Amino acid sequence: MRKIIRSVLILFSATAALALISYAVILYAFPFPYEELTNIKYSKSIYDKDHNILRAFTNNKDQWLMPISLDEINPNLINATLAIEDKRFFDHPGVDIGAVLRAIELNISNKRVISGASTITMQAIRILKRRERSMKNKIVEAAHAIYLDLIYTKEEILELYFEIAPYGGNIHGVKAASMRYFKKHPKDLSLSECALLAGLPQSPSRLRPDRYPLRAKQRRGMVLSSMLKNNFITKAQYNVAKDDPIVAGNHKFPFKAAHFTRFMKNKFKKEPEIITTLDSNMQHFAEAILRDKVSNLKPYGVTNGAVVVIENKTGAIRAMVGSADFFSNSDSGQINGTLSRRCPGSTLKPFTYAIAFAKGICSPDTLLEDSPVQYNGYMPLDYDKEYRGQVTAKDALIDSLNIPAVEVLDKVGYNNLYYLLERLGISTLNKSPEYYGLSLTLGSCEARLIELANAYACLARLGVYRPIQYNQHKTNNIKRRVISQGAAYQVADILSDTSRLETIGIYRDEKLYPKIAFKTGTSYDHKDAWTIAYNPEYTIGIWIGNFSGRSSKALVGIEAATPVAVRIFDWLYTNKTSNWYSKPTIMPKPSLPLQAKQDSHTDPKIISPASGCEYFITNIGKQAQQLPFIGTSGSEQLYWFVDGKFYSKVNHAQKLFWPMEKGLHEITCSDIFGQSSTVHVVVR
């Protein structure tokens, strides 16, 4: 007896050893598909903040293939798949020996292949590594399935299967299948829909429910019968489900927020699914308002625009509209206007004043000169080319006057504005501070709407900067103070003067509408119209223009862009009230006026021409060869002399031009009190 037992043990050991050796040889000759397992090429899906799908992109093989976890799948779908594909899935080691033996018996007795005995684990291996159907490859798949069962849990194998199983055409995985056939998430499927999907992987092309509903229904009946037989469902459930009509279509994935979703696809390249911060309702309304405004402006040669909405507290992007019509080829609608580099016009002025308020260089009540001035040959002019004399800093900012803004920047230093803009995330300053000089405050650079809006969001947070948040699962909690609280409050207080809206027919009662601060901008030659508006909760950035750079007289910030921002703000607060800022306890120190009122006589000062400058005569016409004579004085009248000879008498604010002559010239300006100033210039 002992000899028999010993012989059996020896035989068993030898068989086991032979099996292990054979197994090792198979794994050596046919390596396990680690690369395919760990590098599944998912398609990319973009969702809004409420997990509604915005848009999906196929993978590099033009397949719909989306990641999924078991808790996202209706248990009926899991049970249906087990019932029809692998009843003993949780009991075997990747290969069901009993099913294999039974399949061999059936195939021999019927003299044809009627059962393959492939487990879910083996099917997953076969999908990962496509091989020709042969007995040799069946053995390889079985060996790999056993190994997969050793390194993965059963739940992980099921998830893998539900991610990559074929469901017809280029549809892989239950998530893509559920959405394409039923416009539902897998968790929301009915029992009959679960049974229908579970039956498809056996022959996905032949059983596609959108093309072959009768075949799909027959296969669904087999799945339901197997579920009933294995006690996954009751007889009553079976009777209801088997008679459900086949209602399946080839539904396309949504195509919403086109510019934003493409931006997310490129920004987050590795993530197959991105839960963004976008608010679909806000996005839809912003698109509609922009489209409506651009439509009204088209007769005036304006074809496009862009919108950004930022939630200030979180930095979350709630809406991004890149153009008025994404599908318009004639208007280059696929360009994303929120990312385009455009001239920002006067939208940078508030940051100049913020620095000045913070440093105590001036206050909102400081008197500034809106008079002719020259800085080493640079002579700024106001939008309307008029001069208002003395104005407060508050009025200068409200009316967006250029000359006072340059005066303030001259005192602040253009380096300070340049580096503040950089700290605020303006990435388009690719020249040195000296290149932009004092004209920087007037928008002599380029800016992107998305970055400019976020810079204003810093003002809206009373001086605290934080990066824009796009991905709800990848938040950036960086915060830094870059503007003093008091200075930011003073800017907001100034920009909240909405009486400017009356010029475009908008009359606001702040008891009915949200209080907002806003700044407009119009670029040189009317190529860009801007408005950035904000309150403590939201910042809204608007750009209106043409991607071609074509100008239009309709492109004025307050006329073209401001109505869009106001309508969006009013919509945001349709059913709720808005708050405003409380005055900070610590405010900037009061500053002395940059220019005191001229109650007494002052000597005349020559603004133009600048002393020591050289001027050149060209051949482009007589009018272009005239040199402006500009002076300031407490006197009502000024007397001009050229090379000691009287030239002309003018009123204080009157413009005067002198036809240039070659040579060295002495220019003198005198007032009625006999006081004078002299400069020397060279004309070549």
Query: What per-residue confidence (pLDDT) applies to 605?
Result: 84
- φ, ψ of residue 118 to 5 degrees: the values are -75, 130
| Residues forming a β-bridge with 378 | 375
109, pLDDT greater than 70: no
Residue ending a domain, choose from 572, 592, 626: 572
Q: Is the dihedral of CA 198, 203, 207, 210 positive or negative?
A: positive
Is 439 a domain residue?
Answer: yes
pLDDT at 577: 87
Residue 5's domain spans which residues? 1-30
Phi, psi for 441 (deg, rounded to 5): -65, -20
**Residue 660: which CATH number?**
2.60.40.10
Give the predicted TM-score (pTM) of the model.
0.82
Point out the domain boundary residue: 192, 227, 242.
242
Q: Please write the tens of the pLDDT for every residue from 356-379.
A: 999 888 999 999 999 988 888 888
Q: What is the mean pLDDT of residues 267-277?
A: 95
Residue 168: the pLDDT is 95
- Say whether both 503 and 388 belong to one domain: yes
Provide the H-helix boundaries in 413-480. Answer: 414-423, 433-436, 449-460
Burial of 569 (0-12, 13-18, 19+ CB in 10 A): buried
Predicted confidence (pLDDT) at residue 591 exceeds the cutoff of 60 = no
Which H or E run includes 519? strand 517-522
Largest CA distance in the chain: 141
Task: Establish if 598 belongs to a structural domain.
Answer: no
Res 34 pLDDT > 70:
yes
More confident residue, 580 or 584: 580
Q: Are residues 26 and 96 in the same domain?
A: no
Residue (of 512, 506, 497, 504) closest to 576 by Cα position:
512
Among 167-181, 293-307, 461-475, 590-604, whose mean pLDDT is lowest? 590-604
Count Cβ atoms below 10 Å from residue 581 Cβ, excluding itself. Answer: 17
Query: Do 204 and 347 belong together in one domain?
Result: no
pLDDT, position 596: 40
The answer to the question of residue 261 being in a domain is no
Same domain, 367 and 404: yes
Whether 411 and 373 map to the same domain: the answer is yes
Which is more confidently placed, 136 or 503?
Answer: 503
How many domains does the chain fold into?
4
Does any domain span residue 66?
yes
What is the phi/psi pair of residue 667, to 5°?
-110, 125
Q: Can you tell me the mean pLDDT for 138-160?
A: 92
CATH code, 177? 1.10.3810.10
The DSSP line for 155-178 is HHHHHHHHHH-B-STTEESHHHHH
Crossing angle between the packed helical segments 235-242 and 213-229, to the nearest 10 degrees: 180
| Residue 110: per-residue pLDDT | 59
User: Comparing 372-381, 460-469, 643-652, which segment has the lowest mean pLDDT?
Assistant: 643-652
Q: Which CATH number characterizes residue 512's domain?
A: 3.40.710.10
- pLDDT at residue 449, rounded to an integer: 98
Element (H, E) at 123: helix 120-128
Look at residue 20 in the predicted model and tell me its pLDDT: 64
- On whether residue 279 sits in a domain, the answer given is no
Q: Long-range contacts for 661-665 (Cβ within 8 Å, ≥24 apart)?
A: 662/617
Q: Which of 270-279, 455-464, 612-621, 625-634 has the lowest mean pLDDT?
A: 612-621
Higher per-residue confidence, 376 vs 436: 436
Q: Are residues 620 and 552 in the same domain?
A: no
Q: Are residues 110 and 224 in the same domain?
A: yes
Clarify whether residues 411 and 440 are in a common domain.
yes
Name the average pLDDT for the chain. Answer: 89
Lowest mean pLDDT among 196-200, 229-233, 275-279, 357-361: 357-361
- Nearest 5°: the CA angle 343, 346, 351 is 110
Same domain, 165 and 180: yes
Percent of the residues in the chain that have a pLDDT greater than 70, as a whole number: 89
pLDDT of 599:
41
HSE-CB of 415 using CA atoms within 13 angstroms = 0
Buried b (16+ CB within 10 A) or exposed e, 321-334: bbbbbbeeeebebb
Q: Of 69-73, 312-316, 560-564, 575-579, which range is least confident?
A: 575-579
Residue 597 inside a domain? The answer is no
Q: Do residues 490 and 505 make contact, with C-beta atoms less than 8 angstroms apart?
A: no
What is the pLDDT at residue 10? 57
Q: What is the pLDDT of residue 131?
A: 80
Looking at 553, 572, 591, which one is the last position of a domain?
Answer: 572
Handedness of CA 87, 90, 94, 99 (dihedral sign): negative
In a domain, 612, yes or no: yes
In a shared domain, residues 458 and 530:
yes
In the chain, % of residues over pLDDT 90: 67
More confident residue, 565 or 507: 565
26/128 Cα distance (integer angstroms): 17
Does residue 521 sit in the same domain as residue 626?
no
pLDDT, mean of residues 498-512? 87
CA distance 174 to 177: 5
- On whether both 524 and 439 belong to a single domain, the answer is yes
Cα(404)–Cα(387) distance, integer angstroms: 10
Q: Tell me, yes or no, whether 423 lies in a domain.
A: yes
For the sheet containing 528-534, what is the strand order? 316-321, 304-311, 538-545, 528-534, 517-522
